[in-house]
């Protein structure tokens, strides 16, 4: 691995000088990796613990940009959070009555903080509050969630562009029958499921459209049960939620390893031959992205799920054609693995890639073409024909951690790869590249 310095301009028009990382000649990948905590679980757990009436110790906590934004917001709301060590925090909850009432909360580009806090503060805030973020967050749509909150009696105003943050919550959520379009992001649904138990009146939440990333909704429901919240699901897309509920602390809560991040190690283990053991997530996982293993096996990988870890031992890859709507984050890894596979790979039904940290469909298509691949970009799909020989490429990462980690797999090609702004991985996995160096 070689580090160099070169100028890089972020896709979102924030010029800066950023390092580049060149990866080349990786021929093996073996040993053991302990995954960082899941971003999705960590930020949900922090908010749920803050809503409890007692003390909760959160273990295996992810320390990253996204969790830092949630920690800052909760502290601004008056929640006491003690950092016991690098991966353990103790949260003294406030029972949904925030000790402080800040005028504004800045959430960077943390969607797992913006969406749930918008809904929960609409249910609990005693004074108007504005939620804002960085330039990219102000380009990420939130209209479907706001429409649901308005239907439930809240008063929410956009402060700049209609349909996007920043937004101000002026009047609390009342409950009742609420519809939410789940075809863009499951985070809107998860946010409402976390908020509606806190309002005084009962609610009936109806999901419309083809719901994306359904496993993330199941993850939220599982966590809500662990924190004492009862929700009745009487149809797949309809929930009845009693009002006036209180979150109760499970005393301690262990945060699973990030199943999305496991996909990079699974890919590296295949390309590098293994054996590689990935600890922190396995057959018992509540994360839908564990389904990545099944699709990877269809590509020809040798991978075994155990209760709390995964083993991978190489394989010869062939292209697949798959609907990956249920695992959109992990699905990105298949785009770079496709370059090493025999035959065509089609990644379908991933339209919500376009509203993530960047427009991932367009960014992925653009960067894959630099390697010599033929790529067809559709509204909700990519079709990838690998090149006869992978070309060296300098990959723009668009300030998107997952693009940087996905394209690191090209280090196993003869040509290698240069990745711009590798430090963008700090969003969810600050030591990813040092771990890659250690086991390759």
Catalytic residues: 329
- CA dist 347 and 15 (Å) reads 32
What's the start-to-end Cα distance of the chain, in Å?
10
Is 242 marked as a binding-site residue? no
Is 39 marked as a binding-site residue? yes
Per-residue DSSP letter, 396: -
Displacement of CA 6 from its chain's centroid (Å): 29
Is 329 marked as a binding-site residue? yes
The CA distances from residue 163 to 139, 158, 423, in Å, are: 9, 7, 30
Is 298 marked as a binding-site residue? no
Q: Are 381 and 346 in contact (CB under 8 A)?
A: yes
Strands (E), 192-290: 203-208, 231-235, 238-241, 252-254, 273-279
Is 233 marked as a binding-site residue? no
Is 356 marked as a binding-site residue? yes
Strands (E), 44-151: 55-59, 80-85, 88-92, 104-106, 129-132
Q: Are 372 and 391 in contact (CB under 8 A)?
A: yes
Q: 204 in helix, strand or coil?
A: strand
> Largest Cα–Cα distance in the chain?
62
Is 64 marked as a binding-site residue? no
Is 360 marked as a binding-site residue? yes
Q: For residue 431, what are the contacts with CB-CB under 8 A and spacing of at least 6?
A: 36
The residues pairing with 278 across neighbouring beta strands, listed in sequence order, are 33, 310
Is 187 marked as a binding-site residue? yes
- How many CA atoms within 13 Å lie on the side-chain side of 416? 11
Neighbour tally for 135: CB within 10 Å: 12
Is 352 marked as a binding-site residue? yes
Q: Which H or E element spans position 131? A: strand 129-132
Q: Are 307 and 283 in contact (CB under 8 A)?
A: yes
Neighbour tally for 377: CB within 10 Å: 16
Is 408 marked as a binding-site residue? no
Q: What are phi and psi of 188, to 5 degrees?
A: -65, -40
Is 344 marked as a binding-site residue? no
Q: Is 263 exposed, middle or buried (0-12, 13-18, 19+ CB in 10 A)?
A: buried
Q: 82 in helix, strand or coil?
A: strand
Q: For residue 42, what are the contacts with CB-CB under 8 A and spacing of at least 6?
A: 58, 61, 62, 66, 67, 70, 255
Is 171 marked as a binding-site residue? no
- CA dist 386 and 337 (Å) reads 10
Binding-site residues for phosphoenolpyruvate sit at: 39, 111, 140, 187, 360, 402, 427
Binding-site residues for 3-phosphoshikimate sit at: 39-40, 44, 185-187, 213, 329, 352, 356
Binding-site residues sit at: 39-40, 44, 111, 140, 185-187, 213, 329, 352, 356, 360, 402, 427
């Amino acid at each position: 691995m070689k580090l160099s310095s070169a100028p890089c301009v972020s896709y979102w028009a924030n010029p800066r000088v950023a390092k580049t990382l060149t990866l080349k000649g990786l021929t093996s990948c073996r040993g053991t990796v302990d995954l960082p905590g899941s971003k999705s679980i960590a930020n949900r757990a922090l908010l749920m613990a803050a809503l409890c009436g007692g003390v909760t110790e959160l273990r295996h906590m992810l320390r990253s940009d996204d969790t830092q934004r949630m920690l800052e917001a909760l502290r601004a709301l008056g929640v006491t959070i003690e950092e016991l060590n690098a991966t353990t925090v103790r949260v003294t909850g406030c029972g949904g009555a925030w000790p402080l009432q800040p005028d504004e909360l800045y959430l960077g580009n943390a969607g797992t903080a913006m969406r749930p806090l918008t809904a929960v503060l609409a249910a609990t805030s005693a004074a108007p509050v504005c939620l804002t973020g960085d330039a990219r967050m102000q380009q990420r749509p939130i209209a479907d969630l706001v429409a649901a909150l308005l239907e439930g009696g809240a008063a929410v105003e956009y402060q700049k562009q209609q349909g996007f943050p920043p937004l101000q919550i002026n009047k609390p959520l009342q409950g009742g029958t609420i519809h939410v379009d789940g075809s863009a992001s499951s985070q809107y649904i998860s946010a409402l499921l976390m908020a509606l138990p806190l309002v005084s009146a009962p609610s009936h939440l109806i999901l419309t459209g083809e719901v994306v990333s359904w496993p993330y909704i199941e993850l939220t429901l599982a966590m809500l049960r662990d924190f004492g919240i009862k929700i009745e699901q009487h149809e797949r897309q309809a929930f009845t939620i009693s009002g006036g509920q209180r979150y109760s602390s499970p005393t301690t809560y262990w945060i699973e390893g990030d199943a999305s991040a496991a996909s990079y190690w699974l890919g590296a283990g295949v390309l590098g031959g293994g054996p590689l053991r990935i600890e922190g997530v396995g057959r018992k996982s509540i994360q839908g992205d564990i389904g990545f293993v099944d699709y990877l096996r269809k590509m020809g990988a040798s991978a075994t799920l155990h209760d709390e870890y995964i083993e991978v031992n190489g394989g010869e890859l062939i292209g697949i054609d798959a609907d990956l709507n249920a695992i959109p984050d992990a699905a990105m890894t298949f785009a770079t693995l496709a370059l090493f596979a025999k035959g065509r790979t089609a990644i379908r039904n991933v339209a919500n890639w376009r509203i993530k940290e960047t427009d991932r469909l367009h960014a992925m298509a653009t960067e894959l073409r630099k390697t010599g691949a033929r790529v067809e970009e559709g509204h909700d799909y990519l079709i990838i024909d690998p090149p006869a020989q992978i070309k060296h490429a300098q990959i723009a990462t668009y300030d998107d951690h997952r693009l940087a980690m996905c394209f690191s797999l090209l280090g196993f090609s003869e040509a290698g790869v240069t990745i711009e702004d590798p430090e963008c991985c700090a969003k969810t996995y600050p030591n990813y590249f040092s771990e890659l160096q250690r086991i390759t």
